[in-house]
Amino acid sequence: MALSDFRGKVVILAFFDSRCDETCPLTAFELRRTHRSLGGDVEQVVFLAVNVNAVFNAPQDVAKFTREQRLDEIPSWRFLTGTPEELVPVWEAYSIAVVAQPGEDDFEHTPGVFIIDQQGRKRWYVSTPLSDEGLVAPWAGPRLGELLVKHIRELLSGSG
């Protein structure tokens, strides 16, 4: 599967650890919220993720994460995985830092979501606090899902 397979569609691209139990599930929640918020525009959007876990990279690993996070509610959802030799160049192309956590099953990685336009060009990288926990002052800005919907609609209307 290649990004060019989705020309003509807006692509929402995230990088998920198939074993993550912190940031990735929160991002998954925002992707589901984005999907629901798009209404009829959702037919013009594809939701993709690339696995950053080089150990738990089997199809059953990403399928389990997809089920647990209810991402299978998104008809266009694809969670791509592969060998480290296949994954590392993709991580590098998007400047995704991936670091193994000693003694853990999961990997720390760059959070956030890329929005790719209908011609296959990276247009936006969106990352917001996913929780108010640990912030000096509560985050008053828009949620990740709100920003995704805004930018998707800009692209679909031709004003992006």
- Tens of pLDDT, residues 100-127: 878 777 778 888 899 999 999 999 999 8
**Residue 132 pLDDT more than 70?**
no
Strand order in the sheet with 10-16: 78-80, 45-51, 10-16, 113-116, 122-126
> What does the alpha-carbon distance between residue 78 and residue 91 come to, in Å, rounded to a whole number?
17
| Residues with Cβ within 8 Å of residue 142, at least 6 apart in sequence | 128, 150
Query: What is the domain range of residue 138?
Result: 3-157
Residue-wise pLDDT tens digits, 42-63: 999 999 999 998 888 889 999 9
pLDDT computed for residue 19 by the predictor: 86
pLDDT computed for residue 90 by the predictor: 92
> What does the alpha-carbon distance between residue 25 and residue 114 come to, in Å, rounded to a whole number?
17
- Average pLDDT rounded to a whole number, residues 83-90: 91
**Residue 136 pLDDT more than 60?**
no
CATH number of domain containing 50: 3.40.30.10
How many domains, in total, are found in the chain? 1
pTM score, two decimals?
A: 0.88
